[in-house]
Amino acid sequence: MALNSTCRYRFTLLPTPFVSYAEAAKQCPGSKLTTLPNLGLVGNIEPGPGAGQTSPAGQGSWSQLRANVDSLNEQSGSAASYKIMLIVRHGLGVHNVVMGEVGSSEWKNHWSKMDGDGSRTWFDAELVDEGKAQAADLGARFATGVKQDGFPVPDTIYTSPLARCLETAKLVFKDVVEGRGREFRPVVKELLRERLTDHTCDRRRPRTWIGENYPEYEIDPSLDESDTLWREGVTESNEDHVAREQTLLQDVFQADSGTIVALVTHSYTVSAILEAVGADHFRVAESAMVALLVRAERVWEETLGREERPVVEM
């Protein structure tokens, strides 16, 4: 895949340590993947020559996986790097509730263009009480997994700037991060927002509002005060969305030395990330977490947008 001709990395999903999420999703309500036992980890990868081979099937060890990924990063040098990504879809939002009430067609053709209905507001849609409970439940489940099964606590948490993701990030990760004596400081990334449409639920609030309501968050310098990306009557193509997520992944791999990162985002953005790393498509339920192991291989700058030089296999 080469949707983003300026991206200096080729991203690849290493699926071997995990169950097939696409197959697992088929067994979930509405064919939307829910958070799996042990976050779907059933095996491991072997560092060194033959990297990517699985260990015997069964309950995978998170501590061993992290150790092996750290070893792969040491061995790869500047040619490639590996990260375990914990991807979280936000909890149930008011826009999700309204669409369920009026139906998809009526929502898309009418109500999605409105800021609200007089009793509820869904401009930059916030979580409803059920969505907050979903996120809190995921946070409790994740904290239990950290204590009992060695779930990895993210080195960095990245979140969409939309309100429902800002709140989900806090409810899922704040307690477990601070419980380990670390500062809870998610990074707000414009690139992680939902696919751009003219739905008002996806038009974000000003940068100032984010800073005032989530003062502990670090706001990316590229995020403007007002929403300059949302435009009435304009929809971002899938190709442009995937290219945007390639840029997001490049930013993360270039600037973040951590092995474990969390991305709190949206349904269509999860799909775009999956496409950017060459994964099979599957949908994710509200407030669900999925773990991915992603390899980023550097592409020679002089070949950007043209045929790439072969990369030595790890």
User: Taking a C-beta distance cutoff of 8 angstroms, is the pair 262, 152 a contact?
Assistant: no
- With 0-12 / 13-18 / 19 or more C-beta atoms within 10 angstroms meaning exposed / middle / buried, residue 26 is exposed
Catalytic, 110? Answer no
β-strand partners of 137: none
Residue found by looking up tokens 């977490």 in the block: 289
Catalytic, 90? Answer yes
Which two tokens mark 15? 């699926």
> Which is the catalytic residue, given 194, 236, 286, 297?
194
Which of 197, 176, 212 shows the shortest CA–CA distance to 88?
176
> Which is the catalytic residue, given 90, 199, 241, 266?
90
Residue 50, by phi and psi: left (phi above 0), alpha (psi -120 to 50) or beta? left
H helices then E strands: how many in the chain?
9, 9
Residues annotated catalytic, as ranges = 90, 194
